[in-house]
Structure 1
Amino acid sequence: MDENTCKLLVKLAQEGQLSSLEKLISLTLGGSAEVQTIGSKHFGRSGDTLLHYAARKGHLDIMEYLITRIGTDVEVYNNDYKRPLHEAASMSHQSCVSYLLREGAKVDSLKKADWTPLMMACTRRNLGVIRELMCHSADPALKNKDGWNSFHIACREGDPLVVQHLLVVTPDVWRTESKTRRTPLHTAAMHGCEEVVRILLERCGYAPGCTDSCGVTPFMDAVRNGHISVARLLLEKHQEGHTSTIKTLLELGADLHVRDKKGRTALHMACIGQHADAARTLLQLGLKDSEDACGTTAMQHARKPDVVRVFECGLPDPS
């Protein structure tokens, strides 16, 4: 088979031109044995087959032709060990995913770096494909070479519906760390996925101030990457009011006097969370108490005796 014919075969498979593809194969490859070889032929540097190209582009009719008429193996893989199911899942082609699974594709096959089709699907916000894979027993707890599972990846992408579905089907899937001890909460905070962070705080049991192998908390990840609303959410809901964290963030250039949409400062949030040490540190660093948009001072949120005492020790007042 010459180079021009190979290029044309790939082009027709990518463009979804089934009738032209059939004609070219029948004219170019006369014998049945030769026809079968086209199904296992690898093209280009990636080593993709025609089935890979069709799955990537979502051409179900060409996939059916290649599998049923040409005899292409549904588990054929390219140079990265990607199966057609990886391609269809990563590009959100649900009908192609369903067809490949019906034809016997292994739902948890591994490509290079140990990525499963479900992991590939979680890089997209397509709940239908994820449901289809999980209905065929795809395992979201499997990890790739970096220690990430599908839940990690979904938390990075930030689709609340996908994250909630994974938690419903596999309630303990959040109990995972990467090889650098990063949790899905770290991942969601780093990427500014506020709704996902909220879900994780409400439904999962992450310890306040959990750190990765470098000592970084989700709160620090959020601030370092400019996701202030996520940082406030963690401070308010997750009680990350550590004085060392505050000092580190200020050293990194965080604005001591920044306010949220309700006019609240970090001092307000420390008092709402009843964090005496954090409140004391903020006052010592020069953040004065002040009113928020509703006219409420941070001191008015103080309830615990040790928090109240912070404001009774002669430290700076609102004036």
Structure 2
Amino acid sequence: MKGTEEKFLSAVQKGNCEDVQTVFDSSLDKSTLLNCCHKRSGDSAVHLAARHNHVDLLEFLISRGADIENSNLDGKRALHEAAQSGSRDCLNLLLTKGAEVDSLKRADWTPLHLACTKLDVVIVNELLSAGANPLLCNKDGWNAFHIASREGSVDVLNCLLDAHPLTWSTKSKNGRTPLHTAALHGKLDAVHLLLGRCKYDSNTTDSCGSTPLMDALRAGFTDVADVLITQHKAGVRRPDVLGREPLHVAAQAGCDKSVKYLIQTHRVPPDVATSIGELTPLHLAAKEGQDGTIFTLLQLGADVNTKDVKGRTALHIAAGSQMTECVKALLQSGADICMDEKGNRPSDMTNRKEILDLLEPT
């Protein structure tokens, strides 16, 4: 970058109006200066002014002919920057000057998408009032309502619903609804709103068969799970496409809080088997290296030697998955070293020396 351009962009970023004016007045090629960009980011002066809410500088740049639709290397325009940073004055100026309200950055994010990540209902409302389309989806199939559900702002969600009552009726490319997202991130107030104002089925599934309850439990949000179960009849024993029930999902994720909640509060059997493969929560915890969850399940009554459809115990699974700490936990808890239906012992499932030493001590 040339020295003059570097000084100009630095002055804009700092909001130094006097320096900006000085560099601009001294430049022989003012058009090039106005639209010059950082090599690494592609940011032009209007990006920097909008990001840092230097509205007077932004107005100066626009009045001198700066292109407000310049894109940086991430595909962002000045309006994206203003929306994401909460620069309200700059946002309003850009909209007044005719900025494209639904411009797309990389991955097809609009300024409204970015505004919904920041819980700024004023910015969201300004964009909607300017004609932003809340139904547009990014490359993952998320619209603005989906993003707002992840962040959990009831005000933003209500604003979007007021603007377009059917904005809730959306699924991502892998079939996930905003209710899944709110549950996974533990946004209890948002979950109440989504189930109260929108027409979600609490047992709705994504492409893997996961329900919002499963998402809440894998992340340890038992308060959200309790609302889904007790108030909206979410299925505690409802399986996904792999035959896993919520307890399996919680054990696989190593979420002891959810494991205890399901077994103690809802009396889910600790040795419940998946409908495919007959894997128990103990098998799945062992497969994923959740040694702490192994102890929790055993304390809650799980059988350390229960077998799957192939006659494998959790010890077989732990050894085959190279989970040393799980092998230790199972042996410490009295696991038998037995053969599966093919005659394999747990030691036959691994070549890791530390596991072999545990299973076949010399």
Query: What TM-score does the superposition give when structure 1 sets the normalisation length?
Result: 0.77
1:227 matched residue in structure 2: 221
Query: Is the aligned partner of 1:45 residue 2:48?
Result: no
Separation in 1, partners of 2:110, 2:186: 25
1:16 matched residue in structure 2: 15
1:25 matched residue in structure 2: 24
- Superposed, 1:97-176 pairs within 5 Å as 97-176=91-170
Asked if the contact 2:222–2:261 (Cα under 8 Å) also holds between the matched residues in 1, the reply is no
Per-residue displacement from partner, 1:205-233 (whole Å, max 9, x unpaired)?
11231111111111010110111111111
Separation in 1, partners of 2:141, 2:6: 38
Separation in 1, partners of 2:18, 2:268: 75
1:257 Cα shift?
Answer: 4.5
Separation in 2, partners of 1:242, 1:155: 23
1:71 Cα shift?
Answer: 0.3
Q: Taking CA–CA contacts closer than 8 Å with sequence separation of 6 or more, which of the two structures ends up with the larger relative contact order?
A: 1
2:333 matched residue in structure 1: none
2:67 matched residue in structure 1: 73
Distance 1:249 1:152, change over 3 A: same
1:283 Cα shift?
Answer: 6.6
Unaligned ranges ≥5, structure 1 = 260-264, 268-281, 287-319
Query: Is the aligned partner of 1:60 residue 2:55?
Result: yes
2:197 matched residue in structure 1: 203
Q: Does the residue aligned with 2:261 lie in a helix, a strand or coil?
A: coil
Asked if the contact 2:229–2:236 (Cα under 8 Å) also holds between the matched residues in 1, the reply is no
Unaligned ranges ≥5, structure 2 = 239-244, 272-362
| Larger mean Cα displacement after TM superposition, 70-79 or 133-142 | 70-79
Separation in 1, partners of 2:83, 2:138: 16
Query: Is the aligned partner of 1:248 residue 2:248?
Result: yes
Q: Does the residue aligned with 1:110 lie in a helix, a strand or coil?
A: coil
Asked if the contact 1:256–1:266 (Cα under 8 Å) also holds between the matched residues in 2, the reply is no
Per-residue displacement from partner, 1:245-290 (whole Å, max 9, x unpaired)?
344246435555539xxxxx633xxxxxxxxxxxxxx27559xxxx
Aligned-pair identity (%):
41
Distance 1:266 1:20, change over 3 A: same
Separation in 2, partners of 1:232, 1:77: 46
Query: Is the aligned partner of 1:258 residue 2:261?
Result: yes
Separation in 1, partners of 2:269, 2:74: 56
Query: Is the aligned partner of 1:178 residue 2:177?
Result: no
Distance 1:35 1:198, change over 3 A: same
Question: Which residue identity lines up with residue 8 of structure 2 in the other structure?
Answer: L
Separation in 1, partners of 2:133, 2:154: 19
Q: Does the residue aligned with 2:168 lie in a helix, a strand or coil?
A: coil
Separation in 1, partners of 2:109, 2:159: 20
Question: Which residue identity lines up with residue 18 of structure 1 in the other structure?
Answer: C
Question: Which residue identity lines up with residue 183 of structure 2 in the other structure?
Answer: A
Separation in 1, partners of 2:14, 2:268: 65
Query: What TM-score does the superposition give when structure 2 sets the normalisation length?
Result: 0.69
Distance 1:237 1:85, change over 3 A: same
Asked if the contact 1:201–1:237 (Cα under 8 Å) also holds between the matched residues in 2, the reply is no
Separation in 1, partners of 2:111, 2:259: 44
Per-residue displacement from partner, 1:166-191 (whole Å, max 9, x unpaired)?
11221110100000001000110111
Asked if the contact 1:101–1:107 (Cα under 8 Å) also holds between the matched residues in 2, the reply is yes
Query: Structure 1: which 4+ aligned runs deviate by more than 4 Å?
Result: 253-257, 283-286
1:274 matched residue in structure 2: none
